[in-house]
Amino acid sequence: MSKNLILEQENQVGWITINRPDQLNALNRETIAELHQALLDFRENANIGVVCITGAGEKAFVAGADIKEFADYTNSEGGALAATGQAILFNYIEQMNKPVIAAVNGFALGGGLELAMACHIRIASSNARMGLPEVSLGVIPGYGGTQRLPQLIGRGRANQLIFTGEMINATQANSWGLVNSVVEPAELKQEVMALAAKILKNAPNALEKAITAVNAGFDDVSQGFNVEIESSIAKLFGQTALYGLPSILGRLLNYLLVPLYTAVFAKPADYGVLSDLYAYVAFLMVLLPLGMETAYFRFIQEAPDPDKVFNNSF
């Protein structure tokens, strides 16, 4: 019995719905473990030929990792988290013996976009928004994002998304090749089922071998995944990541207060020190009491229009 998932079978399609709408379907360790078990069960089920992953509700596919769970991890704990997640979920999906389709409804951010990219095919609703905002928190994607995104959209565009932390809408994601097609939210399931029906007409053994053959062309990036694990959560849970946590609100104070103080009292050489100081003051005054997860998710949840979030992305 899954606590965080809804598992269904329709015809020969196995549906996995991540059911944590209050957390915008954010991934925590428990949910990752449940996803692995569900995939394992569907893998062994001869009556299922295609698997589909989606998120509960219309706001989010998966809005990222559950930040509060790993906020105080040590370097070794962070590295273990990234390595385990890649092995039992993201790489497992990519190497699944049956086609896996991501039905991307709403926000697919951070680990959510990485989950979608691990799937073999991605169909997005028109309200979908996608991005890898990790750099704004002082870390980098840790679940395969730095490897799979360049494979899908090219190195230049991948660099742009990763370096800026910005989100793109479904139309742009489609034009860049990040998703296969875009439909209206009410038509998403129908579109996925229609595609699954076409796939199911083909021999299961041939589909499994096709997945293996396609993946073989990218096997040489395995070292890249190892570098990503070491460079993301494992190495950035120290001082660098700590600087990134207050940076969102710290930037605002920097823009307002530091220039004024510098103009009146300080020498230009002192600016960097003052910038750091105001960033940490913002962290202590605002982010700690509210909780980083609350600040991150409330910004998305209270947006009256997804375009507001898109235009004010981290």
Active site residues: 114, 134
CA dist 43 and 231 (Å) reads: 32
Helix, strand, or coil here: 268?
helix
Tokens of 165: 């932390």
In the sheet that holds 107-109, the strands lie side by side as 60-62, 107-109, 129-131, 167-169
- Cβ neighbors of 127 (< 8 A, separation 6 or more) are 58, 105, 106, 170, 185, 306
150 neighbors 158 (Cβ within 8 angstroms): yes
CA dist 308 and 302 (Å) reads: 10
Q: Which residue has the tokens 């809005």?
A: 63
189 neighbors 177 (Cβ within 8 angstroms): no
How do beta strands 167-169 and 60-62 pair? Answer: unpaired
How is 108-126 classified by DSSP, letter by letter? EETHHHHHHHHSSEEEEET
Dihedral sign of CA atoms 186, 188, 191, 193 in order: negative
Which residue type is seen at 141?
P
